[in-house]
């Protein structure tokens, strides 16, 4: 824990401000009942839009859909993987296509997790989103299946779940929870 102290003067004399900050660490990986390595990515890791392209699809005078192709990048701070992988997640790129009415709709794409040792884990994703009237951010739920990987992640199986909020018009993204489950595939006899 780091404490920063500042001494300030003013009309009323000396006032001491103490600001406490703590280093937010990612949760350690765990094992679930099925033997998967469960990795939780801290929601404090920033995610930003890299690019977006939109097409307004006027299907009728009353039915405007926005088709969107885009990508995001997320820097991940020291998220340790289980011992058999001997590596750390450092970033995630997402590539996606969505079909929205404003912010309500669905999407699909790929997430590519990058590790400190230069390996990748590829996840195929689908998403559903909904924005309540009067809110600034839409709720997003993403599920995915691990497709492949490089190095120690070749042949790995698993899944991915994410909850977050976003506004593609203003560029805001707020992570709530991301969980990646991995296990080395069992080889036949």
Domains and CATH numbers, the chain: 25-184 (2.40.350.10)
Query: Given the structure tokens 């006899």, which residue do they identify?
Result: 189
pLDDT tens, residue by residue, 132-167: 888 888 899 999 999 999 999 999 999 999 999 988
Average predicted confidence (pLDDT) for the chain: 83
Could you tell me if 109 and 96 are in contact, meaning their C-beta atoms sit under 8 angstroms apart?
A: yes
pLDDT tens, residue by residue, 34-52: 999 999 998 888 888 899 8
User: What is the C-alpha to C-alpha distance for residues 80 and 86, in angstroms, rounded to an integer?
Assistant: 8
Q: Which two tokens stand for residue 116?
A: 């400190």
Query: Given the structure tokens 């390595």, which residue do they identify?
Result: 37
Nearest to 82 by CA among 188, 183, 187, 185: 183
Could you tell me if 166 and 135 are in contact, meaning their C-beta atoms sit under 8 angstroms apart?
A: no
Q: Which residue has the higher pLDDT, 57 or 1?
A: 57
Q: Which H or E element spans position 42? A: none
Could you tell me if 144 and 128 are in contact, meaning their C-beta atoms sit under 8 angstroms apart?
A: no
User: What is the C-alpha to C-alpha distance for residues 147 and 89, in angstroms, rounded to an integer?
Assistant: 17
pLDDT of residue 160: 97
- Would the pLDDT of 3 be above 50? no
pLDDT tens, residue by residue, 60-104: 777 788 888 999 999 998 799 999 999 999 999 999 999 988 788
């Amino acid at each position: 824990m780091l404490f920063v102290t500042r001494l300030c003067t003013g009309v009323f004399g000396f006032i001491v401000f103490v600001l406490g900050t703590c280093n937010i660490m990612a949760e350690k990986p765990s094992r679930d009942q099925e033997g998967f390595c469960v990795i939780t990515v801290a929601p404090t890791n920033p995610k930003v839009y890299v690019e977006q392209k939109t097409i307004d699809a006027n299907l009728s005078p009353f039915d405007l859909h926005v088709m969107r192709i885009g990508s995001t990048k997320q820097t991940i701070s020291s998220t340790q993987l289980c011992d058999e992988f001997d590596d750390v997640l450092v970033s995630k790129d997402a590539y996606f296509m969505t079909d929205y009415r404003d912010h309500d709709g669905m999407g699909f794409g790929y997430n590519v997790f990058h590790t400190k040792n230069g390996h990748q884990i590829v996840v195929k994703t689908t998403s559903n989103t909904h924005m309540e009237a009067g809110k600034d951010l839409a709720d997003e739920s993403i599920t995915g299946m691990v497709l492949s990987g490089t190095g120690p992640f070749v042949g790995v199986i698993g899944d991915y779940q994410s909850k977050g909020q976003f506004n593609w018009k203003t560029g805001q993204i707020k992570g709530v929870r991301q969980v990646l489950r991995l296990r080395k595939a069992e080889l036949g006899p």
